[in-house]
């Protein structure tokens, strides 16, 4: 059995844990889910999801409770699967290009991330995205088609710092004609600007469990 932890210092960790539970329930994966607040809980995990929320708060709490260095060691371990959504993506990045003085990131994902790239909370939006170019389908589910993808004060990936390590998975087009990178993979680490845990759809979590955790 593999243990999937959800970092539970701040943010949308309950929603992630629920969607992982839904996948496990539906497909019978040999996986248990736990919330991670301490070093002991972290050390039991094979995978870690870092939720959206506020990256400055997540970083500060991690430093104050002595978890920061342990998290850094965990996310650098090639045997572990890691997924950061939104604030979690910012926390994983090597470089932050806006309000960077306010946050100390873990610095493992070789990208430069711009915080709040789409503006304020009121500029949050839902985009219909088709992830079939990278998301291997689950043979046992019938649901296909676009995914309602939630962006809340979302970051974008401004630059890939090491193209040999980091694969761009998904870009969105803006009305101004720009392509913005919103999902990347660096071997065992997944980073997304958006929040699949806030959609009523567990295909993204299911793919993470199959491709990163169980590796079936």
- List the catalytic residues: 86, 195, 197
Query: Taking Cα atoms as reference points, which of 63, 127, 122, 129 lies closest to residue 91?
Result: 63
Contacts 24+ apart (CB under 8 A), 167-172: 169/131, 169/133, 169/134, 170/129, 170/131, 170/133, 170/134, 172/127, 172/129
| Site membership for ligand GLN, residue 86 (CB under 6 A) | yes
Strands 2-7 and 189-192: unpaired
> Contact between 16 and ligand GLN (CB under 6 A)?
no
Q: Which stretch binds ligand GLN (CB under 6 A): 15-23, 51-59, 136-144, 201-209?
A: 51-59
Q: How many residues bind ligand GLN (CB under 6 A)?
A: 11
CB 13 within 8 A of CB 83: no
**Which window, 33-41, 47-55, 134-142, 200-208, contacts ligand GLN (CB under 6 A)?**
47-55
Residue from 116, 127, 165, 169 in contact with ligand GLN (CB under 6 A)? 116
Residue selected from 17, 49, 87, 180 as contacting ligand GLN according to rule CB under 6 A = 87
**Shortest Å distance, C-beta 36 to ligand GLN:** 17
The H helix count followed by the E strand count for the chain is 6, 12
115 binds ligand GLN (CB under 6 A): yes
Is 44 within any annotated ligand binding site? no
Nearest to 174 by CA among 122, 115, 118: 118
Closest CA to 199 of 2, 12, 4: 12
Residue 69 annotated in ligand binding = no
The reply on whether position 59 binds ligand GLN by CB under 6 A is no
Binding to ligand GLN, residues 157-216 (CB under 6 A)? none
Q: Which two tokens stand for residue 129?
A: 């995205």
115 labeled part of a ligand binding site? yes
- Which residue carries 């589910």 as its tokens? 141
Site string for ligand GLN, 61-80 (x = CB under 6 A): --------------------
Query: How far apart (Å, rounded) are the C-alpha atoms in residues 28 and 98?
Result: 42
**152 marked as part of a ligand binding site:** yes
Which residues of this chain interact with ligand GLN, rule CB under 6 A?
Answer: 52-55, 86-87, 90, 115-116, 152-153
């Amino acid at each position: 059995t593999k243990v999937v932890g959800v970092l539970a210092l701040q943010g949308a960790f309950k929603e992630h844990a629920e969607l992982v539970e839904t996948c496990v329930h539906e497909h019978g994966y040999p996986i248990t889910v736990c919330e991670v607040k301490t070093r002991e809980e972290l050390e039991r995990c094979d995978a870690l999801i870092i939720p959206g929320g506020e990256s400055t708060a997540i970083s500060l709490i991690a430093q104050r409770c002595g978890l920061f260095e342990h998290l850094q060691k965990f996310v650098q371990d090639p045997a572990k699967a890691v997924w950061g959504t939104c604030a979690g993506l910012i926390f994983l990045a090597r470089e932050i290009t806006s309000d960077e003085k306010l946050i100390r990131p873990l610095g493992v994902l070789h990208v430069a991330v711009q915080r709040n790239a789409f503006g304020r909370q009121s500029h949050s939006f839902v985009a219909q995205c088709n992830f079939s170019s990278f998301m291997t389908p689950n043979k046992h589910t019938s649901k296909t088609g676009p995914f309602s993808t939630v962006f809340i004060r979302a970051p974008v990936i401004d630059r890939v710092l090491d193209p040999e390590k980091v694969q761009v998975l998904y870009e969105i087009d803006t009305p101004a004609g720009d392509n913005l990178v919103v999902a990347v993979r660096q071997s065992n680490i997944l980073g997304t600007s958006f929040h699949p845990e806030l959609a009523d759809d567990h295909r993204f979590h299911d793919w993470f469990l199959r491709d990163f955790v169980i590796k079936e």
